[in-house]
Structure 1
Amino acid sequence: MVTNLESGGLQNKHIVVDELRDKRSVQELCACLGISRSGYYAYVKRKDDDPDEHLKRKIRSIYEERDKTVGYRRVQDELYRQYNLKVNHKKVLRLMQELGMQAIIRRKYIHRTSYETAVSDGRITENLLQRNFTAEGPNQKWVTDVTQFRVFDHRIYLSAIKDLWNNEIVAYHLSQRNDNPLVLETFKKAFEKQKDVAGLIVHSDQGYQYTSHAYHDMLPKVGAQISMSRRGNCYDNASMESFFSHLKVEALYPYDIRSIEEAQRRIEEFILFYNEKRAQRKLNKLTPVEYRRQLIA
């Protein structure tokens, strides 16, 4: 790998000479790059006296391999993954600063339906739930939302649906992209398990996934009604917010989660525990699944 000359200035030119000196003479390389030989040899002396030089080379390699998009946290992870090196994150940050390395933030374009267009098209609906988070039977009222959890420079998004009758999570979907398919796939899973949903009220906030054409086409086809919180009012969907809070406090925040895979595993294990093993007073100290099976029996 040849070091990129676009970042790091004079030092990177010295590094290039160092990398290519076995193929060309130092005089020729310095002339080509417009630097002095004395400056290059001064760099070599400093490098030989630097106890962190080998670590810097590994950091530089990771940084260039990832097209300069990694921050010090991800570099720290890659040092361990690629070289089995455990390096304090503060030291990685310091060395990257010395090398003039800073992550390039690439803006991701996510299409968001404009609020004004959604209103004019009738895709902002009234609040049918009115904070009445109870139901007399299954598949009468569902609440849904999306939450996120950050793992270093990455995020994992969870879309979930809860039945207000027994507080069971009837479906969920995980993704590293917060987009329409995240929500649509969640409902696809829900409708595969719950066939009789005619008259069902599905309540959400006014997020762009829930004001999309696809969402508003999907629910009426199965006989479901769309309900939405007032704009910017989280209490209108407090039941779903409560579940996400329990999940993060009990399954995520207490742990030093180092990867998206670990976060996904803990989320899935918590939802299984919540549905099948976590007794609730509202359900006469039964779990959501036990309460549902009691009805069937």
Structure 2
Amino acid sequence: MNEQRGRGKYTLEFKQEAVRQVKAGRAASVVAKTLGMPKASLTNWVRADAQGQLGMTAEGKPAPVVTPEQAEIARLRAEVARLKMERDIGKKSRGVLCAGRAARYAWIQSMKRRWPITMMCEVLEISPSGYFSWEASQRRPAKGPGRSHSDEALLAHIKAIHEQLRGEYGWPRMHKELLARGVRVGKERVRLLMQRHGIRAKGKKKFVVTTDSRHHLPVAPDLVQRRFTPAEPNLVWSGDITYLSTEEGWLYLAAVLDLHSRQIVGWSLQPHMQTALVKDALLMACFRRKPAAGLIFHCDRGSQYCSRDFQDALKAWGIRSSMSRKGNCWDNAPTDSLWSRLKTACVHGRRFATHDQARQAVMDWIAFYNHSRLHSALGYISPMQFEKRRMAAQLQSAA
């Protein structure tokens, strides 16, 4: 157990996902920052993957070295992924091409965390130097009284953010997002513009509960009692399972949420709902956060969480088990709310042909949620920003 804590291991699924993002054309430094891990580790994984030695086989033996033919296939797949990315940029930016240069600049600014700026400039037929000059001008404070943005320019910002976030934000969160991006504007003006142009947040839909509490396994007491605002990170985590439909069959997602910052600290995506699903999510969270003994893990009474294998994993890390009351969704409200946001943002209205397509969509959303999505319970900042501000305040008070 001590060896695991010291080494800071990552699950094979985590490594494969990180390598996939690099192969898709994202910079290794960006992927490492998004996933909260050292860049050097990611570089080693990419090198190991190219040699066919990333992870181990089911028999516990090192993965075999790939043949030249397999390496060429991998290279071609990476090239196809890049072409798909360029095509996707072209599709999403088609309407922006006709909206003027300012709208193109605004669109690039809203999407720069997703794709390379130079690639977007090429697709939108503008020069990178022109974009960077425009971006610098947006950071300068407005001179004199009056509005710093016309309705047309502001609407371009709103449409770009709305498309980037797949319609997830209503006007209150849109207003906060604009302020966070340096666009000075009143909330009433944002509300009226969105109302006038029919821009609204997607509606929520009901989804099936995945909890199976019809078992005779031991059940832990509720140690949380709906106190969902712990004073520090790694005091209370919450876990749950949801599902995604694909043409290849169901794909199940287990997540671990730190209730202090509402950051998703562990996750696992697998085509089954066995105990390994929730255990892998827990281990990812433990390897990443290395919590001190005494942390509370709160969940429902599902058979996966009550299983001996999962409970043994909790005990090995010194984690206390807590479970909500039977049939009471409010006892685990933060994770239920998380699933609602996930389904609204990247599941409803979309069809996934394969598990890989669904997995990519979910991983992209988790990265966005942790690093960028404004959370009302945190004062409209992202979970990562919330933790960084707390750490900065602690360092300042200790100085």
Q: Match of 2:239?
A: 144
AA at the equivalent of 1:188:
L
AA at the equivalent of 1:144:
G
Instruction: Choose the corresponding residue for 1:276, options 352, 365, 371.
Output: 371
CA positional deviation for 1:173:
0.6
Q: Percent of aligned pairs with the same residue?
A: 32
Q: Match of 2:334?
A: 239
Deviation sequence 1:195-250 (CA, Å, 0-9, x none): 13322111111111111111111112222110001112222111101101110111
Q: Match of 1:209?
A: 304
Q: Match of 2:316?
A: 221
Matches within 5 A, 1:30-179: 115-116=215-216, 118=217, 123-152=218-247, 154-179=249-274
Instruction: Choose the corresponding residue for 1:193, options 285, 288, 291.
Output: 288
Query: Normalising to structure 2: TM-score of the pair?
Result: 0.44
Taking structure 1 as reference, are residues 114 and 238 closer, same or farther at Cα in structure 2, changes over 3 Å only?
closer
AA at the equivalent of 1:210:
Y
SS in 2 for 1:292: helix
Task: Say what the alpha-carbon RMSD is for the aligned residues.
Answer: 1.6
CA contact (8 A) 2:245 2:352 kept: no
AA at the equivalent of 1:225:
R
CA contact (8 A) 1:134 1:164 kept: yes
- The structure number with the bigger radius of gyration is 1
1:296 equivalent to 2:394? Answer no
More helix by share: 2
CA contact (8 A) 2:342 2:365 kept: yes
Deviation sequence 1:111-143 (CA, Å, 0-9, x none): x99722x1xxxx201111111211100011111
Q: Paired residues, what number?
A: 181
CA positional deviation for 1:146:
0.7
Deviation sequence 1:129-170 (CA, Å, 0-9, x none): 111211100011111011111113600000000011010000
CA contact (8 A) 1:113 1:212 kept: no
Could you tell me which runs of 5 or more consecutive residues in structure 2 were left unpaired when the two chains were aligned.
1-211, 393-399
1:266 equivalent to 2:370? Answer no
CA positional deviation for 1:286:
1.6
CA–CA distance in structure 1, aligned partners of residues 338 and 314 of structure 2:
23
Instruction: Choose the corresponding residue for 2:352, options 254, 257, 280.
Output: 257
CA–CA distance in structure 2, aligned partners of residues 168 and 284 of structure 1:
14
CA–CA distance in structure 1, aligned partners of residues 279 and 351 of structure 2:
31
Could you tell me which runs of 5 or more consecutive residues in structure 1 were left unpaired when the two chains were aligned.
1-111
CA–CA distance in structure 1, aligned partners of residues 381 and 337 of structure 2:
18
Taking structure 1 as reference, are residues 252 and 113 closer, same or farther at Cα in structure 2, changes over 3 Å only?
closer
SS in 2 for 1:209: helix
AA at the equivalent of 2:299:
S
CA contact (8 A) 2:372 2:382 kept: yes
CA–CA distance in structure 1, aligned partners of residues 369 and 214 of structure 2:
36
CA–CA distance in structure 1, aligned partners of residues 227 and 213 of structure 2:
28
AA at the equivalent of 2:306:
T
CA–CA distance in structure 2, aligned partners of residues 256 and 153 of structure 1:
11
